[in-house]
Structure 1
């Protein structure tokens, strides 16, 4: 095979690999957009309160939290906050129908402060806790 044929085959191979990589990235983005309430990892705690609950997930050195309402339907004020000690809190707050969040933060070995609310009910870890 001459060098021109090798270059052409390498060019075709590079084009195919690039296209398949772009399709994989696009498919992953669509999967994430299809289920915005999901946190990766395993659920480690559920903090229940009068109008809902905060679900906490762990994946490696990351925590993820979601606030979900208890019963009812329609838009209502919801909030979820996850703060690793030494960092700013990661907050999702607004009028939602199904959930607030997910919020995700690197925690490493740090303690965290977790808050969540649905309407008038709320949860507050009340201090720095290790999960």
Structure 2
């Protein structure tokens, strides 16, 4: 391996190590507009919930990016059907966004067999 390749690999690993757990929040903020109003933690990740101008947006973010696995996120405004994103992902599912206005919403997220469900929130 050349000296340039070794240096590039070392710098890449340092950047990843320094990035730490706050990177997931930054990535989700880039996906959903608005202010973060709730974090729903569970054993394999978090569901991050954002709100702006009557819209609610949610993203399920894995604690550790890795191999593809089933991930999902859904948001349901009271009186409406849920909007869901489900698939095989490495880092996150979503974003999903609904217009809730002043209605309560129910947020769910899952990674593999682990999940979280909010109940009616943001009323």
- Return the index of the structure with the highest Cα Rg: 1
Q: Is residue 51–residue 120 contact of structure 1 (8 Å, CA) maintained in 2?
A: no
* TM-score calculated relative to the size of structure 1: 0.69
Task: Please name the residue that 2:42 is paired with.
Answer: 49
Does 1:39 find its partner at 2:32? yes
Q: How many residues align?
A: 96
Aligned pairs for 1:45-124 (under 5 A) are 45-124=38-117
Question: For structure 1, which runs of at least 5 residues remain unmatched after alignment?
Answer: 1-34
Aligned pairs for 1:10-21 (under 5 A) are none
Within 2, Cα distance between the matches of 1:91 and 1:118? 14
Does 1:128 find its partner at 2:99? no
**1:63-118 superposed Cα distances (whole Å, 9 cap, x missing partner):** 00000111140101000010000111000001001110000000011011110001
- Distance change in 2, residues 1:122/1:79 (3 Å): same
- Cα deviation for residue 39 of structure 1 reads 0.4
- Cα deviation for residue 130 of structure 1 reads 2.0
Divergent runs of 4+, >4 A: none
Bigger drift between 68-77 and 58-67 goes to 68-77
